Chains A and B, each alone.
Chain A
Amino acid sequence: NAGVTQTPKFQVLKTGQSMTLQCAQDMNHNSMYWYRQDPGMGLRLIYYSASEGTTDKGEVPNGYNVSRLNKREFSLRLESAAPSQTSVYFCASGPRAGNTEAFFGQGTRLTVV
């Protein structure tokens, strides 16, 4: 069972470079999420997608864009990376809202220099 797969696992970018973080799930979930994790701040929601074709901003969307390519895939793009975007990024997926939990990928550790 692959679950939620994120690529790449590690990435170093120079300030101003762009990149896309990929996420795919094989659990037929409707909802998908992108979080960033920073020390002392827990996980903060960047964007989420309640269903294929829809996306919504979370707590910290500035500097990011997302695409829900299909039901399986939800990508996160940094158009012009900044050192403040150095973080660990987690993708998650889950069934419809309510009493259902989210399932997490293993994370992408991104460093912007």
Chain B
Amino acid sequence: AQSVTQLGSHVSVSEGALVLLRCNYSSSVPPYLFWYVQYPNQGLQLLLKYTSAATLVKGINGFEAEFKKSETSFHLTKPSAHMSDAAEYFCAVRGDNNNDMRFGAGTRLTVKP
């Protein structure tokens, strides 16, 4: 079954610094990959998704992610962190023939002033 692993349960950056949140996937078929964001006491909101149309995917709020098959990775980046980016971020995977969606353990992003 497909799965994702997020490296680093907590990431702390300064405001204006690069954000890099790591996600590696395991899938026996070409995967569909997703990044979600969760603000405190809220549900999950989609940031972006990879659907094989392009390896570099742009999402909301200035985030983007690059699909690298050779590294089985789908890392999330943002060039310049903003205080409002502080949240928990989840990577998720779904295989084409499998209806369920599996999530990583999450990475909590802290942005320091």
Contacts and interface: CB of A to CB of B under 8 A. Distances in A.
Contact of B99 (A41, A48, A92): A48
Interface stretch (B63-71, B74-82, B101-109): B101-109
A74 interface: no
B83 to A, nearest CB: 23
B43 A90 contact: yes
Contact of A31 (B90, B99, B104): B99
A26 interface: no
A101 interface: yes
A42 B104 contact: yes
A58 B98 CA distance: 11
Contact of A97 (B44, B46, B90, B99): B99
Interface size class on chain B is 20 to 34
Interface size class on chain A is 20 to 34
Interface stretch (A14-22, A78-86, A103-111): A103-111
A99 interface: yes
B51 interface: yes
B25 to A, nearest CB: 14
A100 B8 CA distance: 27
A43 B96 contact: no
A50 interface: yes
A92 to B, nearest CB: 8
A98 B52 CA distance: 11
B90 A45 contact: no
Shortest Cβ-Cβ A-B pairs, 5 listed? A99-B51, A104-B43, A42-B105, A43-B103, A97-B99
10 contacts: A33-B101, A43-B103, A45-B102, A45-B103, A50-B99, A97-B96, A97-B97, A99-B49, A104-B44, A105-B43
Interface of A: 4, 31, 33, 35, 40-45, 48, 50, 56, 58-59, 90, 92, 94, 96-99, 101-107
Given A31-B99, A90-B43, 8 more contacts: A4-B43, A41-B105, A42-B90, A42-B106, A97-B94, A101-B34, A104-B43, A106-B43
